[in-house]
Structure 1
């Protein structure tokens, strides 16, 4: 049975979350002279550390309780906080599949935490019995599952995710950064059942707010409380909070843009398969396409020469480039330039 307090670092269990005097009061009609702020300007006050307005709109957008939401300065900050909550340096471990989002490994190295990794199969799916030998490892604190996976674009079968959640006594993180493009595959419906589940989301991808740096975690109230303990105060600016709220106020526009991207993704997949230099187009549920190509270095350099920037992912998947879906003119230019290279 999952025991949260057992896997949280002892010093974090004993830590008290930062609280300002304001967080304990209803501030209507108060004269605010407590935080050494400049009395002039439109954004002269510190933000509310709990971000209740942003949580209100996110709660409505997600159809979930705001008590199960924690706001971060991008989802990368939340990954960093998880290492602080759960992982003892030079002792504990995290698990992730290969290839996947590289920031898990980066933060593990910063935190001086061991990394256990296993290769996905040739179709970038999880091999049968992959995790069996690791479930009883008492020093394994976090399993990261990225779905849709970056850089491959495929989803993880929810039955596999549920199996991991039910068998593992640590925390399972399902990174849903790209889930807005395939919302039907979200694990948000599993939150009530599995108290060891943390879902990571971002407003950078489907909601188009990468410059705003707003990420959020969805989890049990008890895990959310631990995020509050280790997070630095005022981690999201009032400016970014306002940008997030403005975005969430127009869900129809959000969905319209997502559908445009999905349609363009399908069009690009079809056209890429007809280009002779493209060896394979991997199926994607995200807003990007991973392609296996002839001469990836040459094609990458040719695209750069033509002022088109894509991502060379050959270090993760042999001979591959990752192509982000852009606007219709941008996608046409990309396809035309690739065709020109292979003429």
Structure 2
């Protein structure tokens, strides 16, 4: 890895971060008259902790890492965007990404005027590590990997990821949004040995809290400090922080949800494989299945008429004729399978 200062944009290296009232004083006091807040309607009249210290302490204890290695964002999309703003000079630098994968990497790149060099996965949806490294040059700052990958659903080989982390000179972003559903372990334990690694996780999937918009980025403290310096001061509101703290006390319940969804995923796969218009159900380490069918658009439109919404991924690279189906509750999956059994083939 190149030194962090060599990877950062020059304006970010020279940036003087905004200092809020809550930066200058973080302790307890009887009277707060420093932030021009309305003194009524407590506690919502007060600005939230800009560094979400209590939430990070809970996450750190749960994940077995240091709180200084955690950045919290408005969904995972915020740290993705901040990584572009920190490291990629618009119109000059580029990033490399696997294809197919999560679409926000491309959107964030387009917003920041940064070229994306896409490298196709193999036919088995594995990494083309030689191709990814060959796509990099002196202006490649970020390399995006999603494992389990969206929409393919599979975890990518650990040895291939390690090769990219070891040989790429920039920042490797490993998106683990669906890792709680996978048999493979998170890479969190490897952060210390890989200072160029950024791991993304989220409260939106296994934790069942997409509505609170809370994403997590884990990295070396020096890199986390960069993201904290350039984020908006109060990016996580007090309601989200309170709900996250409540949720983190219910980790056992979250694990039960995961176990139920994994059982339902197995059931759903078995039913889908019995349908004569289903060509293939791909292996999944996530809470969804990628399914190749004879007429993807026809099946999609039919289910819409039944008020059942799935995702047509036919236009995505390597996914022609494929539908992505999220695993629902037992009742939701029953409604889906009953409708699919009645599909006019």
Q: Same fold (TM over 0.5)?
A: yes
RMSD of aligned C-alpha atoms? 1.2
Q: How far is 1:342 from its partner?
A: 4.4
The equivalent residue for 1:324 is: 326
Q: For structure 2, list consecutive stretches of 5 or more residues without a partner in the other structure.
A: none
Please say if residues 158 and 187 of structure 1, whose CA atoms lie closer than 8 Å, have aligned partners that are also in contact. no
Please say if 1:341 is aligned against 2:313. no
Cα distance in 2, alignment partners of residues 242 and 336 from structure 1: 40
Of residues 50-59 and 333-342 in structure 1, the stretch that sits farther from structure 2 once superposed is: 333-342
Q: Which residue in the other structure is 1:310 paired with?
A: 310
Does 2:149 correspond to 1:149? Answer: yes
Q: Is the 8 A contact 1:277 1:342 kept in 2?
A: no
2:251 paired with 1:251: yes
**Would you say the 8 A contact 2:101–2:151 is kept in 1?**
yes
Residue 121 in structure 1 maps to residue 125 in structure 2: no
- 3-state SS, counterpart of residue 341 of structure 1: coil
Give the total of aligned pairs.
342
Could you tell me which residue of structure 1 aligns to residue 3 of structure 2? 3
Query: What secondary structure does 2:199 align onto?
Result: strand
Q: Find the aligned partners of 1:70 and 1:272 in 2 and give their Cα distance.
A: 40
For residues 173 and 248 of structure 1, the distance between their equivalents in structure 2, rounded to whole angstroms, comes to: 25
Post-superposition shift, 1:128? 5.2
Q: Using structure 2 for the length normalisation, give the TM-score.
A: 0.96
Residues 74 and 214, structure 1, Cα contact 8 Å, conserved in 2: yes
What is the aligned partner in structure 1 of residue 175 from structure 2? 175
Per the TM alignment, residue 184 of structure 1 is displaced from its structure 2 partner at its CA by 3.1
Equivalent position SS for 1:50: coil
- The answer to whether the 8 A contact 1:73-1:215 is kept is yes
SS of 1:185's equivalent in the other structure is coil
Number of the residue aligned with 1:267: 267
Contact 2:20 2:233 in 1 (8 A): no
Q: Secondary structure at the match of 1:130?
A: helix
Does the 8 Å contact 2:172/2:197 carry over to 1? yes
What TM-score, normalized to structure 1?
A: 0.97
Q: For 2:77 and 2:272, locate their aligned partners in 1 and report how far apart those are by CA, in whole Å.
A: 32
Note closer, same or farther for the CA distance 1:227–1:183 as it changes in structure 2 (3 Å cut): farther
Helix, strand or coil: the match of 1:173? Answer: strand
Q: Greater shift after overlay, 104-113 or 182-191?
A: 182-191
Look up the match of 1:88.
89
TM-fit CA distance, 1:56 = 1.1
1:73 is matched with: 74
Offset at 1:19? 2.4
How far is 1:6 from its partner? Answer: 0.3
Pair 1:35–1:183, CA change in 2 (3 A): farther
Q: How does 1:44-83 map to 2 (within 5 A)?
A: 44-83=45-84
Cα contact 1:165–1:196 (8 A) shared by 2: yes
Residue 102 in 1 paired to residue 112 in 2? no
Q: Any stretches of 5+ residues in structure 1 without a counterpart?
A: none
